[in-house]
Amino acid sequence: RANRNCPKSERAQTAQVGVPRPKLFNIAGATRIVQRAVCVGGSRKRFCSARSINDVRTYYAEATVVDVSGPAVGIVQDNPFTQGAWVNGTQSVSYTASDNVGVKSAQALIGGRGRDPRHERPCDYTRPIPCTNDPGTISVDTTKIGEGTQPLQVQAIDTADNANASQPVTVRIDHSAPGAVPVSVEGGETWRSANAFATVWQNPAEGDRAPITAAHWRLCRPGGNACTTGSQAGAEIARLADLKVPEPGEWELRVVREDAATNRNDAYASQPVRLRYDPEPPALGFEASPADDPTRVSVAVTETISGVAGGQVELSREGSNSWQALPTQLDGSRLVARIDDAVLEPGRYLLRAQAIDLAGNVGVAAAAQPLTLPLRIQSAMQAGVAKTKIVLKKVARKKGRRRGAKHRTIRRKVTVLRSASRVRYGGHVTIAGRLTNRDGQPLPGQQIQVLGPSPSGDQVLAVLTTDAEGGYRYRAAGSASRTLRFVYQGTAMVLPAERQVRLVVPAAGSFRPSRQRVLNGGRVVFRGRVRSRPLPEPGKLVEIQVKQPSGEWTTFRTLRTDAQGRWALRYRFRLVRCHTTYQLRAQIPAEAGYPFAGGRSRSRAVTVRGAEGPCP
C-alpha cells in the first residue's frame, strides 16, 4: 500500500529518471541481498499511481568481501637448503599455505628481505574462494644473496591481500670457492724408495663460511704431461694420505679444496710439490787401476732415476772377514778411493763397494780379483848425524912382495850415520842421508821434508831435494834437545819413507868464584848464569858441586836462577886444617818442561889455606 512500511529516506534509493547514482551499503555479516520496489502515492492517498508499471531494475551491483585474517604458512624442510646445510646456486623452498579465501602469492624472505621471484598462484574470482590452498615451491638464487648463516621465511598473501610469514628456519649460503693454500710433503720432497706419499696443509679460519669437505689432486710429470687426478673427502680435511705415483720418477702434485657448499675453483690450485720415487738400487762395476797410479780404486756407478748420493769402498785382508772403509769420494758417476799400502801389512786383500742413491737404495759389488799389497815400489831411507871414524881392515898382500905375514892392516876413514847425537848448545851438526829403492838404487830429485817439534805440533823446517845419488844433507843447530823427522811423502809409484834423528843438547852455563884463594873461615861468592834458554817460569834449578878425593862429584847447595838465568851463592869455608884445593862446578840438571839435557859448567879451583900449613 502507498506510504506504508516505507524505509527511511537514507536507507532507500529514490527512483530517478535515467541511471541512478551508486550507493554503498554495509552488508557485513549478510548472507543474502533482497531488492524491493516501494511505491509512493500522493498525499493522503492510499494507493500508488496506476498510470505506469512499478518495478525494480539493477544496472550495476558490486559486493566487496572484507577479510582481515592472514593465511597460515609453513616451510617444508625437505632439502639441504631448508635443513640448514651449506649450499650455493639456485635452491628450492617448499611450503604449505591455507586461508579461508585462498592464497594468491608467496615470496621467500631471507634476512628479513623479500627475494624475487614472487610465486604467483592461480586464482578464479568468479568462485567463492578465488585462490587455491595447494602446497607450493619457490626458487631462490643464492648467488644474489649475501653469504653466511641467515633466517629463511615464506610470506604468503591471501586473496584479501592479508600477508603472513612462516616461522623462520636457518639457511647457510656460501658461493665463494676456497682459496689456494701452501701444501707440503710429509717427510720432505726428497727421493724415496717406497711408493707411498702424504701431503698436508692448514685450513685457515674463515668464520661463517662453509667448511672444507674434500680435496682434489692433480699429479703430472714436470711440464704437465701424463696427468692423473683423484680426490679424498673428509670433514676439514687437511691431509692427503696413501698417495702413489703411476711409475718411478719425479712428479708434481697440485691440490684444490672443495667446501661443504660444493664450491671449487681449479684456478685456486696450490703451488706444485714434488713427489720423487725410485725403487731401483744403483749398479756398480770395478774398473782397472791405471798403470801409473796403482793405488787408485775406481768403481763405475750407474743410476738412471734419482742420482747417486754417495758410496764407500771397503778393503779386507783375505781370510780375516773384517772390512775397513777406505776414504772414498764421488767423482761424477764414479766412486774413487785410494789404498794406503804404506800402512797396511803386505798380503792379499779383497775389495768391495757399495753406492747409495738419493732414494736410499743401496747397490753392492765386489772386485773380481784380490789385490796383493804393497802396490807401489818400496823405498828405503837413511838418516843420521854424520860422524867420521877410522876403520882397521886386514887385506891380503900382493904376490911378489917381501916374505912375511900374508895379510896387512889398513886404516880407512868412513862416515857413519848416528840416529842420536849430542850437540853443544849453540853448535851445529850435519845430518846426512840417502833415499833408494828396495834394491839400493838411488831415487834422485825427490823432496824430503824436515819436520821439527813446535807448541802447535810438528812444523816444516826445510825441504831438501835428493841429488843424483839419492843423497841429501841438512845442517842442524844445537838450539834445544829435539827429534827431527825426515819424511819422504812418496809418489803414485813409490812408497813413502821416514827416519828420525835425535839431537841431545846439554844445558850450558857459567861458574865463577869471587876468589881463588881464601883463608879458613873466609867467604867466597860463587856466581854464574844459565845460557841455554828458554828457562822455566820459577827459574832454573842449579846444583853447586864439589869433587871428592874419590873422583865423585857431590852436591852441597841447590838454588834457582832469576828470570835472566843469573844466580849467586855466598859460602864460608870452615874446619879446614891444612892447605886444601877444591874443584867446584855448577851442575844444571834436566827438568820437566826444560828442553835440554843435564849439563854443567867448567870446574874452577879454590884453595883454602888452613892453620896447620900444607897437608902432609
Q: Is the pLDDT of residue 11 over 70?
A: no
CA distances from 158 to 101, 155, 250 (A): 7, 10, 69
* Share of residues in the chain with pLDDT > 90 (%): 75
Q: Which residues contact 542 (CB under 8 A, 6 or more apart)?
A: 509, 528, 530, 558, 559, 560, 561, 567, 586, 587, 588
Here the CATH number for the domain that contains residue 226 is: 2.60.40.10
With beta carbons less than 8 A apart as the criterion, state whether 371 and 318 touch.
no
pLDDT category of residue 241 using cuts at 50, 70 and 90:
very high
Domain check: are 384 and 481 in the same one? yes
Phi and psi at residue 255, in whole multiples of 5°? -125, 135
Instruction: Say if residue 91 is in the same domain as residue 166.
Output: yes
Distance CA 616, CA 605 (A): 20
**Which three cell numbers mark 543?**
846444583
52: three-class secondary structure by DSSP: coil
Q: What is the mean pLDDT of residues 188-193?
A: 95
Residue 431 lies inside a defined structural domain of this protein: yes
Cα(511)–Cα(416) distance, rounded to whole angstroms? 35
Q: Contact, 511 vs 528, CB < 8 A?
A: yes
Q: Would you state the pLDDT for residue 545?
A: 96
Most confident of 40-44, 97-101, 200-204, 412-416: 200-204
Q: Residue 299 pLDDT more than 70?
A: yes
Q: Report the number of distinct structural domains present in the chain.
A: 6
Co-location of 529 and 563 in the same domain: yes
Cross-strand partners of 495: none
CATH classification at residue 415: 2.60.40
Residue 456 domain flag: yes
Tell me which amino acid residue 527 is: R
Distances (CA, A) of 567 to 261, 516, 539, 563, 592: 103, 19, 10, 10, 20
Tell me if 487 sits within 8 A of 526, measured CB to CB: no
486/406 same-domain check: yes
- For residue 438, how many other CB atoms are within 10 A of its CB? 10
Provide the pLDDT for residue 20: 64
SS3 144: helix
Name the band, by pLDDT with cuts 50, 70 and 90, for residue 42.
Answer: low
Label residue 8 by pLDDT band (50, 70, 90).
low
Q: Mean pLDDT, to the nearest integer, of 300-309?
A: 94
Q: Are 217 and 229 in contact (CB under 8 A)?
A: yes
Neighbours of 294 (CB within 10 A): 17
Choosing from 173, 198, 233, the residue where a domain stops is 173
Q: Residue 212: inside a domain, yes or no? A: yes
Residue 535 and residue 482 share a domain:
no
Residues 434 and 384 in one domain: yes
d(CA 184, CA 159): 63
The residues facing 323 across adjacent strands are: 316
The CATH number that applies at residue 517 is 2.60.40.1930
Q: Note down the domain range covering 3.
A: 1-64
Does 164 or 3 have the greater pLDDT score? 164
Return the amino acid letter for 391.
V
Amino acid identity, residue 284? L
- What is the spatial distance between Cα 453 and Cα 432, in angstroms, rounded to a whole number? 20
Q: Same structural domain for residues 53 and 16?
A: yes
Residue 12 pLDDT greater than 60, yes or no: no
Question: How far apart, in whole angstroms, are the C-alpha atoms of residue 445 and residue 58?
Answer: 149
Note the pLDDT of residue 116: 73
Among 504, 526, 544, residue at a domain's last position: 504
Q: Is the pLDDT of residue 554 over 80?
A: yes
Q: Whole-number mean pLDDT of the chain?
A: 89
The closest alpha carbon to 151, from 115, 116, 109, belongs to 109
51 pLDDT exceeds 70?
no
Range list of β-strands (E), 424-491: 428-437, 447-452, 459-465, 471-477, 482-488
Is there a single domain that holds both residue 383 and residue 493? yes
Could you tell me the three cell numbers for 53? 508499471
What distances in angstroms separate CA 214 from CA 142, 231, 257, 469, one per listed residue? 22, 7, 6, 86
Residue 169 lies in a domain: yes
**Mind spelling out the 3-state secondary structure of 517-528?**
EEECCCEEEEEE
- Give DSSP secondary structure letters for 312-374: EEEEEETTT--EEEEPEEEETTEEEEE--TTTSPSEEEEEEEEEEETT--EEEEE-SS-EEE-
Q: Does residue 178 lie within any of the structural domains?
A: no
Q: Per-residue pLDDT tens for 465-485?
A: 999 999 999 999 999 999 999
Predicted confidence band of residue 511 (pLDDT cuts 50, 70, 90): very high
Average pLDDT over residues 539-549: 95
The predicted structure's pLDDT at residue 169: 95
pLDDT category of residue 616 using cuts at 50, 70 and 90: confident
Q: How many CB atoms lie within 10 A of CB 582?
A: 17
Percentage of the chain lying above the pLDDT 70 cut: 89
For range 358-383, the mean pLDDT: 94
CA gap 307, 423 in Å, rounded: 62
347, 236: one domain? no
Q: Cα–Cα distance between 573 and 398 in angstroms, integer?
A: 70
pLDDT of residue 409: 79
For the record, the C-alpha cell of 317 comes out as 785382508
Q: Are 88 and 143 in contact (CB under 8 A)?
A: yes
Do you know the residue count of the chain?
616
Residue 614 is assigned to a structural domain of this protein:
no
Give dist(CA 156, CA 137) in Å, integer.
Answer: 12
Q: What is the pLDDT of residue 434?
A: 96
pLDDT of amino acid 53 = 55
pLDDT at 353: 97
Closest among 427, 453, 451, 430 to 505, alpha carbons compared = 427
Q: Which of 9-18, 348-357, 400-409 has the highest mean pLDDT?
A: 348-357
Do both 27 and 113 map to the same domain?
no
Minimum mean pLDDT range among 4-18, 96-110, 213-227, 249-263: 4-18
Q: What is the pTM of this model?
A: 0.62
How far apart are the C-alpha atoms of 308 and 30, rounded to whole Å?
104
Has residue 253 been placed in a domain? yes
DSSP one-letter string for 537-591: TT--EEEEEEE-TTS-EEEEEEEE--TTSEEEEEEE--S--SBEEEEEEEEE---
Q: Are 142 and 80 in contact (CB under 8 A)?
A: no
Query: For residue range 112-139, what is the model confidence (pLDDT) as tens digits?
Result: 888 777 888 889 887 888 899 999 999 9
Kindly tell me if the per-residue pLDDT of 18 is higher than 60: no
Residue 616 lies inside a defined structural domain of this protein: no
How do 517-519 and 604-609 pair as beta strands?
parallel
User: Which triple of cell numbers denotes residue 22?
Assistant: 551508486
Given 277, 304, 321, which residue is the final one in a domain? 277
Residue 61 has pLDDT above 80, yes or no: no
Residue 77: what pLDDT? 94
CA–centroid distance for 401 within its chain:
94
Q: What is the pLDDT, as a whole number, of residue 118? A: 83
pLDDT digits (tens, 9 = 90+) for 139-160: 999 988 899 999 999 999 998 8
Asked if the model's pLDDT at residue 492 lies above 60, the reply is: yes
What mean pLDDT is predicted for residues 482-502? 96
Does residue 466 sit in the same domain as residue 526? Answer: no
Distance (Å, rounded) from C-alpha 164 to C-alpha 105? 11
404 and 474 both lie in a single domain: yes
